Amino acid sequence: MNAEEIEKVAHLARLGLSEQERKAYAAELSRILGLVSQMNAVATEGVEPMTHPDEAALRLRADVAIPGVSRERLLAGAPQTERGLYLVPKVLE
């Protein structure tokens, strides 16, 4: 992985990385991708991808509204709140 790819992926994942981290990750991730590329040795034409270990159908829930935790408890751990709202730096429209 080159610096440009590291930059792009770090942005997609919203990870702020130091210069040092970028360098280290470029090397490490390349090694990991090397390991991962061993998969290419296996022929998988016609194999159905397996997304869940259990092939059972999705179980559904009855449409019942139940009271949850109070707003105070829900917001208790939030870094910044005001009048019952979570606050974040201004989102530019």
Partner 1 sequence: MDWETVIGLEVHAQLKTRSKIFSGAPTAYGAPPNTQANVVDAALPGTLPVLNREAVRMAARFGLAVGATVHKRSVFARKNYFYPDLPKGYQISQYEHPIVEHGRLTIVTDQGEKVIGITRAHLEEDAGKSLHEEGEGVTGIDLNRAGTPLLEIVSEPDMRSAAEAVAYLKVLHTLVRYLDICDGNMQEGSFRCDANVSVRPRGATRLGTRAELKNINSFRFVERAIEYEVRRQIALISGGGTVRQETRLYDSVRDETRSMRGKEEANDYRYFPDPDLPALVISAAFLDEVRAEMPELPEAKRRRFGEEYGLSTYDAGVLTASRELARYYEDTVQAAGVDPKLAANWVTGELAARLNEAGLEINAARVSPVALAGLLRRIADGTVSGKAAKDVFEAMWAGAGDADTVIAAKGLRQVSDDGAIEEIVRQVMAANPKQRSQYQAGEEKVFTFFVGQVMKASRGKANPAKVNDILKRLLRD
Partner 2 sequence: MVGRIKANGALNAFITVAEDLALEQAKAADEARAAGAARPLLGVPIAHKDIFCTAGVRTTCASRMLADFVPPYDATVVEKMRAAGCVTVAKTNMDEFAMGSSNETSYFGAVRNPWNQDRVPGGSSGGSAAAVAARLVPGATGTDTGGSIRQPAALCGVTGLKPSYGRVSRFGLIAFASSLDQAGPMAQTAEDCAHLLAAMAGFDDRDATSLDVAVPDFVAGLRGDLKGLRIGIVKEHFAEGVEPRVLAVLRDALREYEGLGARLVDVSLPNSGHAVPCYYVLAPAEASSNLARYDGVRYGYRAEGYRDLEDMYKKTRGEGFGPEVKRRIMIGTYALSAGYYDAYYVKALKLRRLIADDFTRAFEHCDVLAGPTSPSPAFALGVKNTNPVSMYLNDIFTIPINLAGLPALSLPAGFVDGLPIGMQLIGRYLDEGRLLNVAHKFQEVTDWHARVPAGF
In terms of C-beta density within 10 A (0-12 exposed, 13-18 middle, 19 or more buried), how is residue 6 classed?
buried
Q: Which does 16 bind (CB under 5 to 8 A by kind): partner 1, partner 2, none?
A: partner 2
12 touches partner 2 by CB under 8 A = yes
Geometric angle at alpha carbon 21, from 19 and 25, rounded to 5°: 120
Question: Hey, what are 55's tokens?
Answer: 């092939």
Q: Which stretch binds partner 1 (CB under 8 A): 18-26, 30-38, 39-47, 48-56?
A: 48-56
Site for partner 1, residues 53 to 92, rule: CB under 8 A: 54-66, 68-69, 71, 74-75, 80, 82-92
Question: Hey, what are 22's tokens?
Answer: 């970028």
DSSP secondary structure letter of residue 76? T
19 touches partner 1 by CB under 8 A = no
Applying CB under 8 A, among 66, 83, 90, 93 the residue interacting with partner 2 is 90
Please list, in sequence order, all residues whose beta carbon lies within 8 angstroms of the beta carbon of residue 74, skipping any fewer than 6 positions away. 68
Residues engaged in binding partner 1 (CB under 8 A): 12, 14, 51-52, 54-66, 68-69, 71, 74-75, 80, 82-93
